[in-house]
Structure formats: structure tokens, C-alpha cells
């Protein structure tokens, strides 16, 4: 893929978001708006990202750290002024540079590639991505001569009534040759309706200097949608989610209700897995083949094997092995490492614990900081007492042990192989192999107590 640079505009205030968060840092499908632009550029082969920052710039710097270059725009004097701030990064030899807005997250790798290709093939100085729309209100208009040659871009507020009738608009995404871009930028003025230095004026300037400028008509205008307020944010979220859900459908995942399933871009789901409604699949989650997930499950940064069932449950930074079942109403917390053929039933919470093959934790149980072997049966209401208010301790339970209902295991403690714990026990000492531990008061009966009261 071709080598090019990009300038991403992100200095604006984003007043209409009504937010303390920088507009471009608001998220859709788990990723900040500007990261979508950054990532798609990178996928298309962009080697050098320069981000123009101003308002709430610390939030953007904190996010991208050293992975991009920054140009600081202290006063919002217009899009042309913003691009001018990047000049120092383009002092060397001429390069192709794309200019995009950090608040237009639906941009695709394909559209970037097509734009660069069209730009290079036509040997243009500048290529504007345009679109034909029904309602052009607010947009800059693409003004062409009778032979369809691009002449200039006129902003809505500066357009004559005749120009306002044009329904081909500037999407706000461009491709430039860097030398021509900065040369033209040195000539723009702010004598317009908004008193701003318009990036769009470079088109007319380059044209008047006999340079080649082109409009590349984008047939999927949705991809250039800019987010100005939370209504746009919700709209962009919906479009992005649909795109990701559709990709998974094509990959062989059954999604019962695409409108009510939310999947982040990096989630990987295997063939013939069924996702029931109201699931939220986040981050770097990986789900294997032939699984059933949902309804109503939230799974984040979790790896799930093949043939797993997860019903009405929450998992975060957990691992679930093949053929296991989780839920309904289970909670797998970080480092819950569930082996194969394990049953995690209702109202069970697991944290920082290894649960080995064939073990059953069927109901109302908390297992924290534990190493649990194979084929162990947990009775209802077992608790690992792992915390003394200051320190956490581990519990070890070896293969084939049987934990009776309503048992407290006060850590640090070990229950050895084949041991059996009587219901209602509070275990504070290690239990030997094959032995029975009973740790509770013997039942007393006071005969006729009620009658004699
Ligand atoms: C711009 C275009 C318009 C196009 C529209 C598409 C200009 C003059 N007009 O208009 O032709 O149809 O986008 O959405 O370019 N920004 C800065 N610094 C500034 C000003 C803006 O970083 O001083 C950033 C904003 O944060 C935003 C982007 O540039 O991300 C676009 O600015 P905005 O003011 O929204 O431009 P529009 O008026 O929408
Ligand atoms: Ca805008």
C-alpha cells in the first residue's frame, strides 16, 4: 500500500456535546471517535499521523502518548489555520497527505484507499472527497464549471443563492500534495462570513495557479458523518455497531437480534456460535465455535473456548474452557480461569481462581483466590473466606473433593484429595486426603420445649 501521511483535525471545542470530555474522545463501539480515524488510516497504510489539538488537548495526548505527532492550535481561527500548525512536520520532501476530521469516525479503510488511489492516478495537487446529498444545508459546496471541472469550494455561509442550490458537498476529507498544500495555505485570507482561515480556500487557490484539483465523489456518504452532538454520537454508534454485527453475521455467527446486540470491533467470534439478544461483547473478547451466549450477557476482555454456554451472566477478564456452562446469573471476575466441562451455576461469583476440569459449582457460591482441582462438587452456598480485612489468602481444593452445602473455607486452607466436608462446616484447618471434616455443633433436641415454655 502506498506511503502517505495524515493530518487529523481535533482542536475544536465541540460545544454542542455539552461535555467535560473532549469531543473526539467520546466513544462508539468501545473506541474514541478519533481512534477510529487513526486506526483506519493505519490500516490503509498511513505512516505518519499528525493530530491538531487545542481544546482539552491533554486528554488526547494522554490517550495516544508517543504514537502520533501533535500540532498545537491555541486559537480556533479555522480549519486552514489548524492545518497550518502542522507545517513543521512537512518541511522535507513532498509527500501525499490526507486531511480528515477527528470527529468523523465512520471512515473506512476502503474509502481512504480509494481516495488515495484516485488522487495519485489523476496526479492532482488536491482531491476533495465529496458527496451528493438531499439536504446540503451547512456544508461547503463543490463548485464546478460546465465541463465538470472543480473550481472551488464555497462555505454555506458565504454561498450565493445560486451556489446554495448545489447538492454536491465537501465531506471534510481531502488528499493533498504537501508542498502545494502549505504553499496555498500561506495565501488564504479570513475575509469571509465567519472571519476564519478556511482550508477549503486552498482548492480555489491551487486551481487559479493552474494546478490540478479534483472532487472524488464518495458513494457512501454515511462514512463521512461527523459527530457534532450526542444525537450524532448515537447515530454513529448505531451505524458502527450495525457494521460490526454484519461482519460477524457474514463470518458465520448467528445473531438473533442484530439491533440489540453490541459488539466491539476487536471481538472475535467463532462459526456457528449463537448470540441471543441484549448481549454486550467488549474489548478483546474471543468466543469459540458452537457457543451459546446470552440473552443478557456482558462479556469483556474474556476468552471463551468452543461449545460453551453462557446465560444471563457477566464476565470480565476471565477464561472459560471448552464445553463449560456459565449462569444463569453468574459473575466471572478478573482471573477467573474456568477449565473444561465445568459447571458454574446461578449466583456464583468467581475471582482470581483456577477451577479445573469437570468441577461443578452449581449455586450461590463465592470462590476467590483459590486453586480448585478436577471433579469437585461444591454444595450450595459455599464461601471461600479469603480476606481478613487486610490481606487476601488462597484456598486449595484438590481433585475429587466434596464440599457440603453452606461451607466456609477460611483461607489459607487446603482440602486434600477425595476429602469430604460436612454441610454447614466452617473449615479453618487443612483436611487430609479421603477424610471427612465436620466443623459445626452437634444438634441438640430439647423435648417438649414448646409445650413447657
Ligand atoms: C468544514 C468545511 C466544510 C465541510 C464540512 C464537513 C471548512 C472551512 N469547511 O466545515 O466545507 O462541508 O467541514 O463537515 O473547512 N477545527 C480545528 N481548528 C479550527 C477549526 C476547526 O481543529 O480552528 C476542526 C474541528 O474540531 C472539526 C474540523 O476541524 O473537527 C471541522 O471544523 P468545523 O468547524 O466543524 O467545520 P465545518 O464548519 O463543519
Ligand atoms: Ca463540522
Res. 2: pLDDT tops 90: no
CA 113 to ligand 1 centroid distance, Å: 22
Q: Which residue has the cell 471534510?
A: 172
Answer for the pair 216, 127: CB distance below 8 angstroms, yes or no.
yes
Residue whose C-alpha is closest to residue 219's, from 165, 168, 295: 168
Give pLDDT, residue 435. Answer: 98
Ligand 1 atom closest to the Cα of residue 201 is 8
Q: Using one digit for the tens of pLDDT, what is the confidence trace for 165-182?
A: 999 999 999 999 999 999
Is 44 exposed, middle or buried (CB count within 10 Å of its CB: 0-12, 13-18, 19+)? Answer: buried
CA 140 to ligand 2 centroid distance, Å: 10
Res. 1: pLDDT tops 60: no
Q: Whose CA is nearest to atom 25 of ligand 1?
A: 12
Q: Which of 12, 73, 132 to mutate to test the pocket of ligand 1 (most atoms within 8 A of CB)?
A: 12
Mean pLDDT of the chain: 97
Q: Whose CA is nearest to atom 13 of ligand 1?
A: 172
Residue whose C-alpha is closest to residue 188's, from 204, 177, 172, 175: 204
Q: Does residue 199's CB lie within 6 angstroms of at least one atom of ligand 1?
A: yes
Q: How far apart are CA 129 and CA 127, in angstroms?
A: 7
Answer for the pair 151, 207: CB distance below 8 angstroms, yes or no.
yes
Q: Using one digit for the tens of pLDDT, what is the confidence trace for 137-156?
A: 999 999 999 999 999 999 99
Answer for the pair 434, 417: CB distance below 8 angstroms, yes or no.
yes
Q: Using one digit for the tens of pLDDT, what is the confidence trace for 257-295?
A: 999 999 999 999 999 999 999 999 999 999 999 999 999
Q: Whose CA is nearest to atom 30 of ligand 1?
A: 101
Q: Which of 172, 173, 181 to mutate to test the pocket of ligand 1 (most atoms within 8 A of CB)?
A: 172
CA 37 to ligand 2 centroid distance, Å: 15
Ligand 1 atom closest to the Cα of residue 169 is 12
Q: How far apart are CA 356 and CA 358, in angstroms?
A: 7
From residue 30, how far is each of 35, 141, 305 by CA, in Å? 10, 34, 23
User: Chain-centre distance of CA 33, in angstroms?
Assistant: 10
Confidence of residue 221 (pLDDT cuts 50, 70, 90): confident
**Percent with pLDDT over 70 in the chain:** 100
Q: How far apart are CA 161 and CA 197, in angstroms?
A: 22
What long-range pairs does 227-234 form, CB within 8 A, spacing at least 24? 227/23, 227/26, 227/33, 227/103, 227/104, 227/105, 228/14, 228/16, 228/17, 228/103, 229/16, 229/17, 229/18, 230/17, 230/18, 233/17, 233/26, 233/28
Q: Whose CA is nearest to atom 8 of ligand 1?
A: 198
Ligand 1 atom closest to the Cα of residue 82 is 18
CA 228 to ligand 2 centroid distance, Å: 7
CA 419 to ligand 1 centroid distance, Å: 71
**Mean pLDDT score, 308-325:** 98
Three cell numbers written together for 65: 502518548
From residue 194, how far is each of 74, 80, 155, 198 by CA, in Å? 18, 13, 9, 9
- Ligand nearest 15 Cα, by number? 1
**Mean pLDDT score, 188-192:** 97
Answer for the pair 99, 81: CB distance below 8 angstroms, yes or no.
no
Q: Does residue 76's CB lie within 6 angstroms of at least one atom of ligand 1?
A: yes
User: Chain-centre distance of CA 232, in angstroms?
Assistant: 18
**Mean pLDDT score, 49-75:** 97
State yes or no: is 26 an active-site residue: no
**Percent with pLDDT over 90 in the chain:** 98
Res. 84: pLDDT tops 70: yes
Ligand 1 atom closest to the Cα of residue 24 is 30
Q: Edge-to-edge strands of the sheet including 303-304?
A: 268-269, 286-287, 303-304, 319-320, 336-338, 353-355, 370-372, 395-397, 413-415
DSSP, res 54: B
Give pLDDT, residue 442. Answer: 92
Tell me which of 26, 81, 119, 363 is the catalytic residue: 363
**Mean pLDDT score, 314-334:** 98
CA 340 to ligand 2 centroid distance, Å: 52
Res. 327: pLDDT tops 80: yes
Residue whose C-alpha is closest to residue 141's, from 162, 161, 117, 167: 167
Confidence of residue 220 (pLDDT cuts 50, 70, 90): confident
Bridge partners, 196 (sequence order) = none
Confidence of residue 412 (pLDDT cuts 50, 70, 90): very high
Res. 3: pLDDT tops 90: no
Ligand 1 atom closest to the Cα of residue 140 is 11
Res. 419: pLDDT tops 70: yes
Q: Does residue 241's CB lie within 6 angstroms of at least one atom of ligand 1?
A: no
Coil, strand or helix at 52: strand
Bridge partners, 202 (sequence order) = none
- Ligand nearest 156 Cα, by number? 1
Q: How far apart are CA 241 and CA 106, in angstroms?
A: 11
For CA atoms 244, 247, 251, 257, give the dihedral sign: positive
Confidence of residue 133 (pLDDT cuts 50, 70, 90): very high
What are φ and ψ of residue 133, in 5° steps?
-130, 160
**Mean pLDDT score, 354-372:** 98
CA 62 to ligand 1 centroid distance, Å: 24
Residues in CB range of 82: below 8 A, 6 or more apart: 9, 11, 52, 54, 73, 76, 199
Amino acid at each position: 500500500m502506498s506511503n502517505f501521511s495524515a493530518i487529523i483535525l481535533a482542536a475544536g471545542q465541540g460545544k454542542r456535546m455539552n461535555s467535560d470530555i473532549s469531543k473526539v474522545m467520546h466513544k462508539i463501539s468501545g473506541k474514541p471517535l478519533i481512534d477510529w480515524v487513526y486506526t483506519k488510516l493505519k490500516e490503509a497504510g498511513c505512516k505518519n499521523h499528525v493530530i491538531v489539538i487545542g481544546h482539552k488537548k491533554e486528554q488526547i495526548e494522554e490517550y495516544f502518548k508517543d504514537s502520533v505527532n501533535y500540532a498545537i492550535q491555541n486559537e480556533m481561527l479555522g480549519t486552514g489555520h489548524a492545518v497550518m500548525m502542522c507545517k513543521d512536520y512537512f518541511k522535507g520532501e513532498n509527500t501525499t497527505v490526507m486531511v480528515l476530521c477527528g470527529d468523523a469516525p465512520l471512515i473506512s479503510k476502503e474509502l481512504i484507499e480509494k481516495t488515495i488511489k484516485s488522487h495519485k492516478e489523476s496526479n492532482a495537487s488536491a482531491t476533495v472527497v465529496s458527496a451528493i446529498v438531499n439536504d446540503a444545508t451547512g456544508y461547503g459546496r463543490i463548485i464546478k464549471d460546465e465541463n465538470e471541472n472543480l473550481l472551488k469550494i464555497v462555505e454555506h455561509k458565504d454561498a450565493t443563492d445560486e451556489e446554495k442550490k448545489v447538492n454536491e458537498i465537501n465531506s471534510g476529507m481531502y488528499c493533498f500534495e504537501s508542498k502545494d498544500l502549505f504553499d496555498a495555505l500561506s495565501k488564504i485570507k479570513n475575509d469571509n462570513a465567519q472571519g476564519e482561515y478556511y482550508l477549503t480556500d486552498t482548492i480555489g487557490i491551487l486551481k487559479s495557479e493552474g494546478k490540478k484539483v479534483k472532487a472524488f465523489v464518495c458513494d457512501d456518504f454515511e462514512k463521512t458523518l461527523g459527530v457534532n452532538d450526542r444525537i450524532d454520537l448515537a447515530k454513529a454508534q448505531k451505524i458502527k455497531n450495525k457494521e460490526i454485527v454484519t461482519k460477524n453475521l457474514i463470518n458465520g455467527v448467528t445473531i438473533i437480534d442484530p439491533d440489540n446486540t453490541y459488539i466491539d470491533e476487536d471481538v472475535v467470534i467463532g462459526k456457528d456460535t449463537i448470540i441471543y439478544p441484549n448481549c454486550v461483547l467488549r474489548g478483546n473478547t474471543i468466543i469459540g465455535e458452537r457457543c451459546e451466549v446470552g440473552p443478557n450477557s456482558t462479556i469483556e476482555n474474556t476468552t471463551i473456548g468452543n461449545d460453551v454456554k453462557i446465560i444471563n451472566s457477566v464476565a470480565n477478564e476471565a477464561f472459560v474452557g471448552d464445553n463449560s456452562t456459565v449462569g444463569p446469573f453468574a459473575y466471572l471476575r478478573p482471573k477467573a480461569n474456568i477449565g473444561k466441562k465445568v459447571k458454574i451455576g446461578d449466583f456464583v461469583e468467581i475471582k482470581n481462581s483456577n477451577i479445573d476440569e469437570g468441577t461443578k459449582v452449581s449455586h450461590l457460591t463465592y470462590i476467590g483466590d483459590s486453586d480448585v482441582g478436577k471433579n469437585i462438587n461444591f454444595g450450595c452456598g459455599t464461601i471461600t473466606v479469603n480476606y481478613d480485612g487486610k490481606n487476601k489468602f488462597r484456598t486449595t481444593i484438590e481433585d475429587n473433593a466434596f464440599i457440603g452445602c453452606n461451607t466456609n473455607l477460611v483461607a489459607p486452607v487446603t482440602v486434600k484429595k477425595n476429602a469430604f466436608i460436612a454441610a454447614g462446616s466452617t473449615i479453618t484447618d487443612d483436611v487430609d486426603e479421603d477424610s471427612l471434616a465436620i466443623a459445626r455443633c452437634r444438634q441438640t433436641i430439647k423435648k417438649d420445649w414448646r409445650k413447657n415454655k
